[in-house]
Amino acid sequence: MRSRTISSRFGQYAFFAAASTLLSCAVQAQTLGANLAITGPSAGADGSGFSDTKLVRDGNVATATQASGTSNQRVSVKWGSAVTFNTVILREAGTKVTSWSLVDNETGAVWATGTGIGAQRVVNLGTRSSKKINLIVNATSAPAMAEFEVYNATGAASSTPASSVAPSSTPASSTPSSQIIVYQAESGSLSQAAVESNHSGFTGTGFVNFDNLVGSSAQWTVNQASAGNATVTFRYANGTTSNRAMAISVNGTVINSALAFNGTGAWANWSTQAVTAYLNAGNNVIRAVSTATDGGPNLDQLSVSGGQVVASSSVPASSVAPSSVPASSVAPSSVPASSVAPSSTPASSAVANTSSSVSSYNGAIRPAKMEGFAAHAGVTGGAGGAVVTVSTGTQLNAALCGRATMSTPITIMVNGTISHSNTTSQGCNTQADVIEIKQMSNISIIGVGTNALFEEMGIHVRDASNIVLQNLHIRNVKKSGSPTSNGGDAIGMETNVDRVWIDHNWLEASGGEQDGYDSLLDMKAGVTNVTASYNLFNDSSRAGLIGSSDSDNKNNNITFHHNWYKNIEQRTPLIRHALVHMYNNYWSNTTQDYMFHAINSRMNAKALVESNYFYNVNNPLIASDDSSTPGCWETNNDNTVLPSIYYSRTVGNGALVIPEVVNGQLQSTCSVSVPYTVQMDAANDVPAIVMANVGVGKVSGTTTLPGSSAAASSTPASSVASSVPASSRSSVASSIAPSSSSVASSTSSSSSSSVVIVDDGTISAACIQLATNPSVNWRDTSLQSDQEIVSCLSKTLGKPVGYGENAKGGFDPNGNSKLTIITKNGSVSVEQQLLNALTDNAHNWIVFDKIQFAQPSEIGMYRTFCNNTTVQSLLGASEAECINYRQWCSNKGFSGEATCRNEFFNKAMNKSSIPIRIPAIGSNKTLDGRMTEAYFVFSGFAIGKDSDGVPTQTSESVILTHLKFQGAGHTEDHYVDPDMIRSTGASHDIWIHKNTFDTTGDSAFDVKIGANAITMSFNRLINVKRAVLHGSSDSRTINANITTTMHHNSFVTTDDSYMLLGNTLRRVPLLRRGKTHMFNNAFVNYRNQVLSLRVGGSAALEDNLFMVNTSLQEKSTTAASLAEISTNLFKDISDGNLRNDRNFLWFGSSNCNLDSSTKTTLTATNGSVANLAASYSAASQATINNWRFAAGQDLVDYLSATTGKYGQIPFNSPLAGDRYYVLGLGKVSCQ
């Protein structure tokens, strides 16, 4: 079996003759009109890497803007308002450009790509509109651009005439929709696979042969001119009789978890298998991962047809007209019906009785918009009335009761925790143990940011109409036990309730009926015209019912869309009698048999079920025999059910009716229609859309309400006088903290109000672009102020949990955040810029220019000492040789990177009198390396300072994230003390997150001299000999203050370093006096004294995983080896306290596939350790509990995928997918 990784960089592509003909004509007659780069509204230019950019729009080809580099150099033209255009003409001064792309600055969409520009390159884009176009170029040496012209031309148009480089100059819009682009499989990025040619019949230079194991993979980049469905066809051979299925994903979303590649009779017999995929405009990553122990088939090529395909200059592809392709390779008849993804059938065409259409998703957080029956009935809630802010249940009840009449409109903003302890009745049917909306109308209750928590307190709606409940977190409402509320329902509605919108809420319970809980959302005894949208229902046994008994037939017209049912056993929903529309909802469970049922249509109910996504669902659509009469349903043949359609109930055995399954789709049993039109998403897009948008903190700006001139908002930013009279029984929100993002109202005067316009916690589309798109630089979105950008970066990074939970870094919620962008090629060195930005105490969020740091860029903080003559003398180096140590090595005859670094850093620099020290970071700092390739060599930073065990500088609120630290190898007691991160001087509130540490000279992240309140999470340490010291001396009692949380980190010793380092990789941590809480970490190839405890230090280890490669077994038997390692890992704990809960050791493969037969419980303990997590906030504890993994295969796979600078986004961030999404992306090597 092979175990290798082959990464093939894509070369140029060539067109077949038939396609070349399409491009061989010259530019035809065309009237260009005015050059909008000069004449457009407030036209201008800017760039990154180019100087004097105005020269690209001066109309003079004799002048040019000069780039300073060769990689990802950007020059842009822009306008004060959007302009419409269709043609771009690029004119280069010279012929240095090798590849280029035109990118919409506002959306990040790649409009066209190509190779070479030269004197003129004409690109016909089709009709476009934008405020800014980016030209990104790569070149052999620093290029110069003479003109960047933009026209809205009339008349016939085509691209530049074909030449030796013409194909790659094809604009995205010029490729015919009937064209097929062929990608040779061997040109992709391969993992545990090889390119071979020992079987005949392949079309390129060879074919891809996957290793015989689960997880071998290949991926390709496909460039589309516009978004839409396309057919991806794989040409393959399988000389066995077994199905070598592969999981196919597009842009990280699995679209077919087991696409069949059945036997072809012989390895030289080639066949095709196809899948329909929704592709975005621009680059798309298609990935195939083997799901069988035999690996995948041999892959020859994949072809993409449909939509507007454009071959990127980074992808080797062949373009062929359909007539030149054998019919068997792409004809629909060659594609088994069962293999076509459900999204190939648009909802609008599948069911005659629905008026719905399929839309595409651009990744943005969507604004709240009412749809379905609530919109059809005209729900407006409290729009048009007073807006008041409350923070207690008593204040909320007072606001409900204080209106002129019980139908006077009101919007109540909730900015605090509503609990039994702060809720009393205020008359008008309000209660102390429930928020009662009874015999009232025209009310909106909306949470502020993520602050509105209803703790064990439900909301009951009865005899009420025109109600909006939005952006509320309601949890653990009980019907038995203590305290009780609302019959155990988070939201319960009954008896003459009409026109309700339940939107963007988080409803959860920590168990089922036996634990004291009932439902999350119940409707009974006459509830009509309701829409429930973008809600997160999780961890309850029951989501909700419509109709409490078979005789309850008064409920009707209910819409559920874009809700996430996460780990719910049943009633999602249970329907009796009512008409219900279910579209674009997402179900996910830990195992397929977890659920009793999903949609249960009983007792004459009618359900319209369209474009939903079911994952690990039992009985997804059913009429159970719990009622004497079944309900029915109509489906639209676009409901995705993965990994398989599973029914534990069958007709006569728990079910009256279950649907037929045709081509992987649940079939209809009746005809159902609704009286409105909605725009639906394709089922395959639903998980990404729902996970990104559901729950609290996602409502941004103004909410769209039908039939109303007013609007509700979770972020009111205007002054609204309260109408609650001063005589109300309780003051309503008499004051709001400055960081509250709300409008504060006071009952002291009906005309007085105050305005607080600050961040509301929501994430805009521009913010998502900024935080996820490496081609969109920090100042290139609509977010322009430092505060806006830093707020975005803070929100998308997420929040730490554990002891470091209060670290905010450079974000100041009071509006004083500063953004510092580190640049290259200026008069101030990168190291000095960092020193200037990091060493004071002002709020500063520091990032690296995305374009200038798009390629690996080494940073050495020691260089700030290179102008020191003592340093130069001790190194035997000039200032230039000190800065460029490779020049020093070359001049002294040292060759090879490792040798050079060792000679310079560990020998020449290791002198007792050398004055080099690592710089100390001040307070309120974030150093954020996201989407850039800057890395630090040899040493890093201190946080705070000390002298002889006494703090001399205490820093607070520091975040170091997405950084890479490359060491020069360990040298014991190096005089420079080259820690990568050292927290000292009683510094506190520190988050060290998602960094990569490789072969560091000293520690990865030491903690000394009383530093405390620190969280280290999702870091990846590779061959780090001394990972983390907690306290540098037994005698320093200040170290009793040390508190750290280390969670979800990967500590890796590579197989090839095991014998060299296996007995010396320790100190995770070496702990003196303080406390550490370690959970869900993975230790790969650690075998000796992973943990050391001194002078009463206390460590709580929970759910950690230890794995050693089976091939490295050192004893004659597995049992003896496991016993030896188990003993050695914890043999240095006698001087401290260790609690050891659910930590296990395995043998496994180099790819961290655990051998389940070797699972060994680690039992070493000493003394006693308290529950350290009890000191965390409730929010931290909830997040930890929600995301805690059992030590095992899923944990190590999740950490392999997420840890380090380059891992997937982890759960701290609101942009993260859930664990099933991450694990579904395919296995990532743990080494």
Cβ-proximal residues to 945 (8 Å cutoff; 6+ apart), any chain: 920, 951, 952, 953, 984, 985
**Distance from first CA to last CA of the chain, Å, rounded?**
18
Q: Name the amino acid, one letter, at 535.
A: N
Which is the catalytic residue, given 74, 244, 499, 571?
Answer: 571
Query: Collapsing DSSP states into helix, strand and coil, what is residue 53?
Result: helix
Phi/psi at 744 (nearest 5 deg)? Answer: -90, 135
Q: Is residue 1016 within 8 Å of 1044, Cβ to Cβ? A: yes
Tell me the CA distances in angstroms from 84 to 45, 127, 151, one per residue in order.
17, 7, 8
Say how far apart CA 257 and CA 254 lie, in whole Å.
Answer: 6
Say how far apart CA 965 and CA 626 lie, in whole Å.
Answer: 61
Residue 725 burial (CB count, 10 A): 11
DSSP letter string over 563-625?
-EEES--B-SSEEES-EEEEES-EEE-SSTTS-S-SEEEETT-EEEEES-EEES-BSSEEEET
Q: Is residue 243 within 8 Å of 340, Cβ to Cβ? A: no
Q: Name the amino acid, one letter, at 778.
A: W
Residue 242 burial (CB count, 10 A): 12
* ω into 573 cis (within 30 of 0): yes
Say how far apart CA 505 and CA 563 lie, in whole Å.
Answer: 10
How is residue 477 annotated by DSSP?
A: -
Say how far apart CA 270 and CA 102 lie, in whole Å.
Answer: 38
Q: Is residue 714 within 8 Å of 760, Cβ to Cβ? A: yes
DSSP letter string over 144-200?
EEEEEEEE--BS----SPP-SSGGGG-BGGGS-TT-EEEEEGGGSEEESEEEE--SS
Smallest CA-to-CA distance from 933 within 851, 992, 1042 is with 851
What is the sign of the dihedral through the CA atoms of 222, 224, 230 and 231? Answer: negative
Smallest CA-to-CA distance from 792 within 800, 783, 801 is with 783
How is residue 1209 annotated by DSSP?
A: P
Residue 2 annotated as catalytic: no
Say how far apart CA 807 and CA 417 lie, in whole Å.
Answer: 22
Question: C-alpha 1118: how far from its chain's center?
Answer: 40
Q: Is residue 680 within 8 Å of 584, Cβ to Cβ? A: yes
Cβ-proximal residues to 597 (8 Å cutoff; 6+ apart), any chain: 570, 571, 572, 574, 618, 619, 620, 622, 624, 649
Say how far apart CA 623 and CA 602 lie, in whole Å.
Answer: 5
Tell me the CA distances in angstroms from 919 to 835, 864, 924, 981, 984, one per residue in order.
7, 10, 16, 10, 12
Residue 263 burial (CB count, 10 A): 16
Point out the residues that are catalytic.
571
